[in-house]
Amino acid sequence: MIDSQFTYTVSEVAEQSGVAASAIRFYEKHGIITGTRTSGNQRRFTEDAACRVKVARVAQRIGYKVAEIADLLDGLPNNPKTEDWQRLHDDLIKEAEKRIAEINAQLAALKTGDKLCELPGSPTLS
């Protein structure tokens, strides 16, 4: 028998999160959301699945890889509370700010007019 907390179908989670049903299956395959199967072999998801998908989409736009997103969301407890989501929110902001600073530093280096192979971080040939 299916656990009563797993009540949302693929199409319901897709609609709630604003993505295609194929994206829901993709996120499940990569461990971003977890579903279970009914006796009729239909997928069912928990109440927080749509939120996890939305957070995954934000993390992707920041530049996280799918595996990194799965690890990030794996740190959330079952049935996350407001403070759990807030901690994740704060972590995403810190990471986005860090990545923006790194991009701005690279942009500044590019604007110096130096040759690309002479910019900081360019590989050296031996």
The 10s digit of each residue's pLDDT in 9-22 is 999 999 999 999 99
Q: What's the CATH number for 10-113? A: 1.10.1660.10
The count of other CB atoms within 10 Å of the CB of residue 113 is 5
Question: For helices 21-29 and 49-62, what crossing angle results, to 10°?
Answer: 80
Contacts of 35 (CB under 8 A, 6+ apart): 6, 10, 28, 43, 44, 45, 49
Task: Decide: pTM greater than 0.85.
Answer: no
Q: Domain residues of the chain, as ranges?
A: 10-113
114 pLDDT more than 80: yes
CA angle at residue 122 from 69 to 105, to 5 degrees? 60
Partners of residue 44 on adjacent β-strands: 36
